């Protein structure tokens, strides 16, 4: 719903939980399904204990999950594919909007039921929901063994040790947000081997009236440039070919260090990292996007012409009530500059409908804006009333049924734009990054430069030679299938 949260796919405005995989070959699973993560280079020794792990929410939370998985592995714990029979389960939660919280609560309750049945000994709850609710979560669900806040993740092994050792004198670990973002090295990655997320900062200084992220993740804290580069090289050494740059507010990088945005400088350094093929940019805020940054993106060797920039609305009155600090005209000017500076730019954005006070005229203004701008990738969220945000106190709350009607209307407007775009791709020859094989079929799933994993479209590739996940394959698009493309392999993968 915001720059800080997950972007909806073309099919849904709900962010799916991340499935877990870090095998020697990339693997995929339905959302939320647990896959075995093999301990790379593990010695033949008895583990301190076994655990299962469920990661929910956005890519920033996924990076936190990977860091906790790495810490637990290094400390001698062994991940198992099924929570039944595990010594304990870790649920890394999302607390972003009501829909995400409901999913987190349902997962926690499922794990607590296993505990009641004696099928696991303990349940550790971490992440944004734990940070947001803190002691209230323990009061409502006293069977939770431990809570680990967003910035308590570095202590997850101590929490596990206490649980395994039957020590319950401390059930919560919360730490203040750091002045500099925590390093995310020594991660046990969840994503398929060939792509990975690089978090360059933590927290957010924006005060959008609908968003509770700053309450959960604190003020903006940039990660030092040398640490970012170290993590990028570590990911490349682990097989990453596509690096996806994420943060709560990517364009604000460096402002807390010396008062100047430093994203352009960081990107120029990342563009020199050998072994990378694609660098993808997510979670831009429509401020601090200057000509230097656009030139950097346009002239880079590895940065793909793709920018994810949630706009939330286009009506001036609603932008003011949302405290977005931009106007309609500023947005129009920015979009023109971006498209003028970066050839073949793919723009992904998201909007909110049903914000308090939104009128039918303002919905139609947004629909006309969508028709005119023809965003290659777009999603819509219905407004989620967050009790601890200023927007919750605004007059003019829109009924849920009406918000859903507006969501349907705006997505129908975008569907026409999206289908026109896919139709225009027929006959083109594109580089496709192969993600996985379609189960039981002689076909593979992949993505073009215009597609981020999990939120954008898919290319279904018919192979004409040997093909495997993690390869770049030149393909000819032969058909459109709704939001997706159908293509035929032209050359061997590389």
Mean model confidence pLDDT for the chain: 88
pLDDT at 81: 85
Q: Which residues pair with 348 in a beta bridge?
A: 308, 377
In this predicted structure, the answer to whether residue 254 has a pLDDT above a threshold of 80 is yes
CATH number of domain containing 242? 3.80.30.20
CATH number of domain containing 168? 3.40.50.12160
Residue at 14 is within a domain? no
Question: What is the mean predicted confidence (pLDDT) over 296-301?
Answer: 98
pLDDT digits (tens, 9 = 90+) for 311-322: 999 999 999 999
* Co-location of 64 and 200 in the same domain: no
Residue at 178 is within a domain? no
Residue at 35 is within a domain? no
Picking from 424, 439, 460, the residue at the C-terminal end of a domain is 424
Residue at 186 is within a domain? no
pLDDT digits (tens, 9 = 90+) for 88-115: 999 999 988 888 999 999 999 999 999 9
* Of residues 430, 426, 424, 460, the one with CA closest to residue 445: 460
* Co-location of 387 and 448 in the same domain: no
- Phi-psi map region of 470: left, alpha, beta (phi>0 left; psi -120 to 50 alpha): left
Picking from 401, 424, 447, the residue at the C-terminal end of a domain is 424
* Co-location of 221 and 339 in the same domain: yes
Picking from 173, 203, 220, the residue at the C-terminal end of a domain is 173
Residue at 13 is within a domain? no
Residue at 188 is within a domain? no
Domain that holds residue 255: 195-424
* Co-location of 278 and 400 in the same domain: yes
* Burial class of residue 119, CB neighbours in 10 A (0-12, 13-18, 19+): middle
- The token duo for 239 is 């097989």
* Co-location of 268 and 393 in the same domain: yes
Question: What is the mean predicted confidence (pLDDT) over 225-232?
Answer: 96
pLDDT at 24: 26
In this predicted structure, the answer to whether residue 492 has a pLDDT above a threshold of 70 is yes
CATH number of domain containing 463? 2.40.50.140
pLDDT at 183: 87
* Co-location of 270 and 354 in the same domain: yes
* Co-location of 244 and 386 in the same domain: yes
Structural domains of the chain, count: 3
| Pairing of the two strands 146-148 and 472-481 | unpaired
* Co-location of 410 and 454 in the same domain: no
* Co-location of 385 and 437 in the same domain: no
CA distances from 482 to 65, 170, 378, 412, 459 (A): 33, 52, 14, 13, 11
* Co-location of 213 and 309 in the same domain: yes
* Co-location of 154 and 200 in the same domain: no
Considering only 26-30, 54-58, 282-286, which range has the smallest mean pLDDT? 26-30
Confidence of residue 23 (pLDDT cuts 50, 70, 90): very low
CA distances from 23 to 80, 188, 194 (A): 13, 10, 12
In this predicted structure, the answer to whether residue 360 has a pLDDT above a threshold of 70 is yes
Residue at 23 is within a domain? no
Token look-up 């002239």 returns 299
**Length of the chain, please?**
494
* Co-location of 335 and 415 in the same domain: yes
* Of residues 325, 324, 327, 322, the one with CA closest to residue 391: 322
Residue at 38 is within a domain? no
E strands present in 277-345: 278-281, 303-308
């Amino acid at each position: 719903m915001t720059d800080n949260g997950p972007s909806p796919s073309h099919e849904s405005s709900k962010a799916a939980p991340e499935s877990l995989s870090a095998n020697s070959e990339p693997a995929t699973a339905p959302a939320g399904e647990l896959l075995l993560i093999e301990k790379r280079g593990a010695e033949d020794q008895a583990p301190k204990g076994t655990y299962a792990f469920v990661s929910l929410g956005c890519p920033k939370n996924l990076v936190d999950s990977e860091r906790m998985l790495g810490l637990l592995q290094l400390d001698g714990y062994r991940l198992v594919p099924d929570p039944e029979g595990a010594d304990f389960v870790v649920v890394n939660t999302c607390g972003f909007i009501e829909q995400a919280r409901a999913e987190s609560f349902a997962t926690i309750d499922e794990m607590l039921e296993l505990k009641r049945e004696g099928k696991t000994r303990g349940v550790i709850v971490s992440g944004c929901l734990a940070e947001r609710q803190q002691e209230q979560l323990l009061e409502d669900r006293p069977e939770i063994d431990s809570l680990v806040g967003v910035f308590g993740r570095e202590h997850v092994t101590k929490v596990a040790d206490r649980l395994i050792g039957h020590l319950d004198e401390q059930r919560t670990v919360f730490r203040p947000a750091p002045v500099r973002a925590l390093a995310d090295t020594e991660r046990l990655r969840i994503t398929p081997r060939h792509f990975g997320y690089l978090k360059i900062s933590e927290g957010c200084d924006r005060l959008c009236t609908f968003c509770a992220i700053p309450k959960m993740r604190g003020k903006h804290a940039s990660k030092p440039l040398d640490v970012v580069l170290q993590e990028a090289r570590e990911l490349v050494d682990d097989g990453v070919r596509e690096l996806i740059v994420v943060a709560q507010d990517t364009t604000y990088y460096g402002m807390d260090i010396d008062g100047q945005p430093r994203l352009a400088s960081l990107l120029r350094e990342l563009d020199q990292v050998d072994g990378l093929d694609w660098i993808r940019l997510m979670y831009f805020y429509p401020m601090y996007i200057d000509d230097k940054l656009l030139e950097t993106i346009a002239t880079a060797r590895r940065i793909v012409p793709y920018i994810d920039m949630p706009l939330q609305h286009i009506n001036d009155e609603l932008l003011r009530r949302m405290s977005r600090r931009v106007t309609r005209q500023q947005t129009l000017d920015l979009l023109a500059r971006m498209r003028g500076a970066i050839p073949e730019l793919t723009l992904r954005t998201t909007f909110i409908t049903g914000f308090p006070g939104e009128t039918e005229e303002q919905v139609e203004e947004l629909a006309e804006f969508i028709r005119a701008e023809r965003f290659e990738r777009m999603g819509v969220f219905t407004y989620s009333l967050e009790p601890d945000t200023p927007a919750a106190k605004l007059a003019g709350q829109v009924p849920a049924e009406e918000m859903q009607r507006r969501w349907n209307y705006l997505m129908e407007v975008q569907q026409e734009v999206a289908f026109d775009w896919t139709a225009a791709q027929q006959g083109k020859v594109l580089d496709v990054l192969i993600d996985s094989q379609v189960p039981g079929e002689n076909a593979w799933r992949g993505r073009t430069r215009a597609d981020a994993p999990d939120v954008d479209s898919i290319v279904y590739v018919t192979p004409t030679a040997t093909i495997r996940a993690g390869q770049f394959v030149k393909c000819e698009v032969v058909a459109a299938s709704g939001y997706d493309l159908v293509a035929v392999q032209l050359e061997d993968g590389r």
